[in-house]
Amino acid sequence: MNHRPPDRQTPQESRGPVTARITAVDTYDIRFPTSRELDGSDAMNPDPDYSAAYLVLRTDAGDGLEGHGFTFTIGRGNDVQVAAIEAMRPYIVGRSVSELCADPGSLSRDLVGDSQLRWLGPEKGVMHMAIGAVVNAVWDLAAKRADQPLWRLLADAEPEWLVSQVDFRYIDDALTPEQALELLRSARPGRAEREQQLLRRGYPGYTTSPGWLGYSDEKLTRLARKALADGFTQIKLKVGADLADDVRRCRAARAAVGPGVRIAIDANQRWGVAEGIAWTRALAEFDPYWIEEPTSPDDILGHAAIRTGVAPIRVATGEHVQNRVVFKQLLQAGAVDVVQIDAARVGGVNENLAILLLAARFGVPVCPHAGGVGLCELVQHLSMFDFVALSGTTEDRVIEHVDHLHEHFLAPVRMDQGHFRAPTAPGFSAQMHAGSISRYTYPDGEFWAADLAEREEAKAV
């Protein structure tokens, strides 16, 4: 039967006692009505409804632990993303929990390498994001079983094991397993001190909350000042819809925060190469720290040209970069000053380990993309691992913070003086409250059912 992966549902292995297995992959189409407040509005995404294609791995281990994971989307199409996660189900149900958690890379390789699913990418788009959601759910489960927050599970792991979790296919011209091992080994001295520092001070963040395109100048100014009062030393503004507006908004932001604070700007892929250079230069007088996503995330050579054209303004990208192969080239081509990993777009923690290692190899700082639904919760673990056990520094490194939707998570990010406090709860901070899941399930959850009924009623009047 070629339409199913090998049967893994053997309930018991012949060589030993009953083995705990994955018994179910439950999926949920969760959508929040964020478009109504213009939170999250930018030049390419005027009306996002922040959503999650969400899954729960259940087991028969009897320990009450589940693995949670999700893909972030912005509304329509979240159902397609859920369907893609469901296509992974036969690869997971029936697997040994202990084997899976001891080596999440084995599942990652099976899913990425499946000869038929591969055609639908390869390693990009809906299918690859689904793989990422599933792989991240395994890491959540693994960290819970280890009774550790994920960042510490990774930071405490042996370099050899971490290297075994990375797929070097298509990147070994830039980073070999031996080089990766050397990077991890050379970061071992000082780990304990850095962990203490992390627990004491947290990891620096920056905030995008003042800068959404749909906000008035008054709201921008007020929120920029609040960001400073909250301890942030970097804010970000969305740009790219209208140059005159951008000039006015950048001026207002600079006036609000003064010269000492970094202002990043973010075009969300709005431009071609020439336009990106010209527009960014036109905002240079406000001293932007980086220009983010000036053009298509697929355009490596375009980013390189823009970087040359706008220097000394830095170029940042990554939230839509599909996989490690494109990140490798952005680094090889000298196309970016800042690598912006996203926890839920590539193939999960394993592929993000590859990207962190590539960035370390090229000496380029990683400043994760976050916001959306739960992206801050996830990605903080990756940056904290990187600080403790890989790059060993937070210099010029900041995690994006957006003050949205954290209340839906069991272990929401905790901010303190502009820093992410290190999570201490076991897992990947991915788990949402059961009540949030049921209320915002689309279209049958309480919120959407009521909303739909209201709109039907309004139509009838």
Distance of CA 156 to the CA centre of its chain: 22
Q: State the binding string over 43-82 for a second copy (x if CB under 8 A, else -).
A: -xxxxxx-----------------------xxxxx-xxx-
Regarding 6 and contact with a second copy (CB under 8 A), the answer is: no
Measured over the CA atoms of residue 360, residue 420, residue 291 and residue 257, the dihedral's sign is negative
Nearer to a second copy, 33 or 231 (CB): 33
Q: State the binding string over 421-460 for a second copy (x if CB under 8 A, else -).
A: ---------------------xx-----------x-----
Q: CB under 8 A: which stretch of 196-204, 221-229, 292-300, 394-402 binds a second copy?
A: 292-300
Cis peptide before 312 (omega within 30 of 0): yes
**Which of 126-141 are b and which e, b meaning 16 or more Cβ less than 10 Å from the residue's Cβ?**
bbbbbbbbbbbbbbbb
Instruction: Give the DSSP H or E segment for 228.
Output: helix 217-229
In angstroms, the Cα distances linking 303 to 125, 206, 421, 459 are 21, 23, 33, 48
Regarding 213 and contact with a second copy (CB under 8 A), the answer is: no
By CB under 8 A, the count of residues binding a second copy is 72
Give CA–CA dist 309/273, Å, rounded.
Answer: 9
Give CA–CA dist 266/70, Å, rounded.
Answer: 25
Regarding 89 and contact with a second copy (CB under 8 A), the answer is: no
- The residue behind tokens 């494109």 is 326
Minimum distance between the CB of residue 222 and a second copy, rounded to whole angstroms?
Answer: 27
- The residue behind tokens 């709201």 is 219
Q: 222, 251, 320, 421: which one contacts a second copy (CB under 8 A)?
A: 320
Nearer to a second copy, 198 or 304 (CB): 304
Minimum distance between the CB of residue 279 and a second copy, rounded to whole angstroms?
Answer: 14
Give CA–CA dist 234/154, Å, rounded.
Answer: 28
Q: 10, 12, 102, 118: which one contacts a second copy (CB under 8 A)?
A: 118
Secondary structure (3-state) at 56: strand
Task: Pick the catalytic residue from 124, 303, 369, 408.
Answer: 369
Q: Are 71 and 27 in contact (CB under 8 A)?
A: no
Instruction: Give the DSSP H or E segment for 160.
Output: helix 159-164
Regarding 11 and contact with a second copy (CB under 8 A), the answer is: no
Give the pairing of strands 234-238 and 415-416. unpaired
Task: Pick the catalytic residue from 68, 124, 144, 238.
Answer: 238
Q: Residues 139 to 198: which contact a second copy by CB under 8 A?
A: 168-173
Q: Residues 232 to 271: which contact a second copy by CB under 8 A?
A: 269
Q: CB under 8 A: which stretch of 114-122, 145-153, 193-201, 386-394 binds a second copy?
A: 114-122
Q: 202, 288, 302, 348: which one contacts a second copy (CB under 8 A)?
A: 302
Nearer to a second copy, 56 or 130 (CB): 130
- 381 flagged as catalytic: no
Structure tokens at 18: 């009953």
Q: Are 427 and 18 in contact (CB under 8 A)?
A: no
Nearer to a second copy, 170 or 362 (CB): 170
Nearer to a second copy, 96 or 332 (CB): 332
Beta bridge partners of 29: 53
- 124 flagged as catalytic: no
Active site residues: 238, 369
